[in-house]
């Protein structure tokens, strides 16, 4: 555990970062010294400048001592290689150049954090690339001025040559910063990547082969001068190919490879950039590298910015479509819910209207039918008081009894109607034979004439569940009507019951007076009487219909005048869960 913690501490320490930066700086410096133009002592580009800026951006400003140390070592070695002795002037020059390199990197780091850190990397937007180019131009200007002054102080005086020297140094700094900073930052950026597919691998192979042929031909001596001079232009379309078809990492890698190869073959004296004057050759080479590097990198950033914008637009469209679909679904659900609510309101309003109408009718009929027997009773009582004959008195008593029974039956009907509306069904096993027998036993004491036993056909394979009290109300009202509106001596009642497929089919028919067709649509209405003969309350069939509906069933009437009436019911099996 101690070893692991020590390793973690070592990896995260600033000292290790400084060592790594020094090594990277020296390797980049070695590459730069290798590409030195020996005849004039200048560089086409200076890789350590780009490496220093990239590493200080990635690792932080705390690594500046590494840049200073690497620069001191590099220029000490370079002056020694050029045969310049370590005199006070040379030491001052080396120190000034090293300080300039550190200051250049710190200024670039500061400007980068001010203008680019919050807005992404230099490659995410075209505007970022231009801002980064401006930062490099400004940083390189500082380094080049100090470098030129330091080298001129080493000579002991400022000569006319210093202006050309400044231009070459400035272009070398810009080129090194742009090429190598972009190369390192792009490959360290995890946001931009290149998905390698079989097609992209084949495309990369074809591109590499073409570029390889072009670069090799640039280094050959068997071509005419005009064709040889045209090679820098021939390579531009392929660089555009890279910018449009590949990632920023591939673009910076190709640009740096072409730049280094162009410098190498120019130093060897076999490239389109070789002119009679070495400074002119170097200047032409620097301008070529700088132009293609800036153009291709910025173009690649623009292409990828457009692709990112396209992806964001596609994502926005997908999200918009999802949002529209979701909103549409919500609206549909809201419309359906509103339609259901409106339907419920319509049903409730209809039920309320029906209830109000029934209530008005009920109040009127109840007040009338409750007072009618009482009025009869009072009239008969007055007659009985004024009449001394026993026979008339007995008749009055019989009429009083009849009126009282009528009123009692009416009150019972009202009680049954109220109970049916308020009390929930309580399912129990139904014994149809017992139900029929109890109905006839009850009617035996409430009617003047009892018909012979009904003809019952019962087909039942399964137990049937329903509300026994409501079943009694149904049978009682139907059978009592059959008795009431039939010839007592000829009354026949047929009851057919079949329990199948989770429901019961019940048919109760008689051979009574029947109902005229013009009244058959109204017989289930409250207080409707199809005839005044043996007229009851007009609630019987209404109670039957309401009770059947409470049991979630259906009831239908078939009747023919002077031949009889049949009521057909279909009741569901209300077996408890």
Distance CA 385, CA 113 (A): 121
Answer for the pair 191, 63: CB distance below 8 angstroms, yes or no: no
7 Cβ partners below 8 Å, 6+ apart?
none
155 Cβ partners below 8 Å, 6+ apart?
none
Looking at residue 12, what is its pLDDT?
55
Token output for 262: 């162009």
Looking at residue 9, what is its pLDDT?
45
Token output for 248: 């920023």
290 Cβ partners below 8 Å, 6+ apart?
171, 174, 175, 178
Name residue 43's beta-bridge partners.
36
Distance CA 534, CA 485 (A): 7
Residue tagged 């509906």 (tokens): 549
Looking at residue 392, what is its pLDDT?
63
- Please state the pTM of the whole predicted model: 0.57
430 burial via Cβ count (<10 Å: 0-12, 13-18, 19+): buried
Looking at residue 125, what is its pLDDT?
86
Report DSSP state, residue 53.
H
Distance CA 223, CA 209 (A): 20
| Run of H or E including 568 | strand 564-572
**What strands, in cross-sheet order, belong to the sheet with 503-510?**
455-460, 493-500, 503-510, 564-572, 554-560
Looking at residue 37, what is its pLDDT?
85
Answer for the pair 88, 32: CB distance below 8 angstroms, yes or no: no
Q: Provide long-range contacts, Cβ within 8 A and 24+ apart, for 230-239.
A: 230/272, 231/272, 232/272, 232/273, 232/288, 235/211, 235/292, 236/292, 238/207, 238/210, 238/211, 238/214, 239/292, 239/295, 239/296
Q: Where are the domains of the chain?
A: 13-319, 426-572
Could you read off the pLDDT of 210-231 as tens digits, one per residue? 777 776 766 665 655 666 677 7
Token output for 450: 């009892």
Low-confidence stretches of the chain (pLDDT < 70) are 1-13, 119-120, 152-162, 190-196, 200, 204, 215, 217-228, 356-423, 445-452, 488, 527, 529-538, 577
Looking at residue 3, what is its pLDDT?
40
- Domain 426-572 architecture: 2-Layer Sandwich (3.30)
């Amino acid at each position: 555990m101690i070893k692991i913690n020590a390793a973690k501490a070592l990896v995260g320490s600033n000292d290790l970062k400084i060592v790594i930066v020094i090594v990277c700086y020296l390797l980049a410096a070695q590459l730069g010294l290798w590409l030195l133009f020996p005849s004039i002592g200048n560089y086409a580009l200076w890789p350590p400048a780009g490496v220093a800026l990239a590493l200080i951006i990635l690792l932080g400003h705390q690594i500046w001592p590494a840049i200073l140390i690497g620069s001191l070592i590099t220029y000490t070695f370079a002056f020694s290689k050029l045969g310049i002795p370590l005199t006070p002037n040379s030491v001052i020059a080396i120190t000034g150049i090293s300080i300039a390199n550190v200051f250049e990197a710190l200024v670039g780091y500061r400007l980068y954090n001010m203008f680019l850190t919050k807005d992404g990397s230099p490659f995410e937007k075209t505007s970022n690339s231009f801002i980064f180019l401006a930062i490099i131009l400004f940083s390189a200007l500082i380094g080049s001025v100090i470098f030129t002054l330091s080298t001129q102080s080493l000579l002991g005086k400022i000569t006319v040559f210093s202006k050309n020297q400044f231009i070459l140094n400035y272009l070398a700094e810009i080129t090194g910063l742009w090429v190598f900073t972009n190369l390192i930052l792009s490959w360290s950026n995890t946001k931009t990547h290149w998905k390698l597919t079989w097609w992209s691998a084949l495309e990369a192979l074809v591109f590499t082969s073409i570029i390889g042929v072009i670069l090799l031909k640039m280094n050959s001596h068997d071509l005419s001068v005009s064709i040889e001079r045209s090679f820098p232009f021939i390579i531009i379309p392929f660089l555009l190919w890279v910018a449009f078809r590949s990632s920023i990492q591939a673009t910076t890698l190709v640009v740096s490879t072409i730049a280094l190869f162009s410098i190498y073959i120019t130093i060897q004296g076999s490239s389109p950039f070789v002119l009679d004057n070495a400074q002119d050759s170097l200047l032409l080479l620097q301008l070529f590298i700088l132009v293609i590097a800036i153009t291709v990198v910025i173009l690649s950033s623009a292409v990828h910015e457009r692709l990112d914008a396209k992806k964001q637009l596609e994502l926005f469209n997908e999200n918009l479509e999802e949002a529209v679909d979701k909103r549409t679904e919500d609206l549909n659900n809201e419309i359906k819910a509103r339609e259901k609510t409106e339907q419920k309101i319509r049903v409730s309003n209809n039920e309320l209207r029906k209830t109000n109408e029934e209530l008005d009718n009920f109040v009127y009929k109840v007040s009338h039918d409750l007072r009618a027997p009482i009025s009869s009773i009072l009239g008969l009582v007055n007659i009985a008081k004024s009449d001394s004959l026993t026979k008339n008195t007995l008749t009055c008593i019989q009429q009083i009894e009849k009126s009282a029974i009528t009123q009692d039956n009416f009150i019972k009907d009202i009680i049954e109607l109220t109970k049916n509306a308020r009390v929930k069904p309580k399912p129990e096993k139904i014994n149809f034979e017992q139900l029929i027998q109890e109905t006839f036993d009850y009617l035996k004491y409430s009617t003047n004439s009892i018909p012979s036993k009904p003809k019952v056909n019962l087909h039942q394979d399964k137990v049937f569940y329903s509300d026994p009290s409501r079943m009694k109300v149904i049978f009682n009202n139907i059978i009592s009507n059959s008795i009431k509106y039939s010839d007592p001596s000829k009354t026949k009642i047929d009851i057919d019951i079949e329990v199948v497929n989770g429901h019961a089919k019940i048919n109760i028919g008689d051979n009574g007076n029947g109902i005229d067709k013009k009244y058959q649509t109204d017989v289930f209405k409250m207080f409707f009487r199809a005839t005044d003969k043996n007229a009851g309350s007009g609630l019987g069939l209404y109670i039957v219909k309401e009770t059947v509906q409470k049991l979630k069933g259906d009831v239908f009437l078939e009747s023919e005048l002077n031949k009889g009436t049949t009521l057909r019911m279909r009741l569901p099996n209300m077996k408890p869960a």
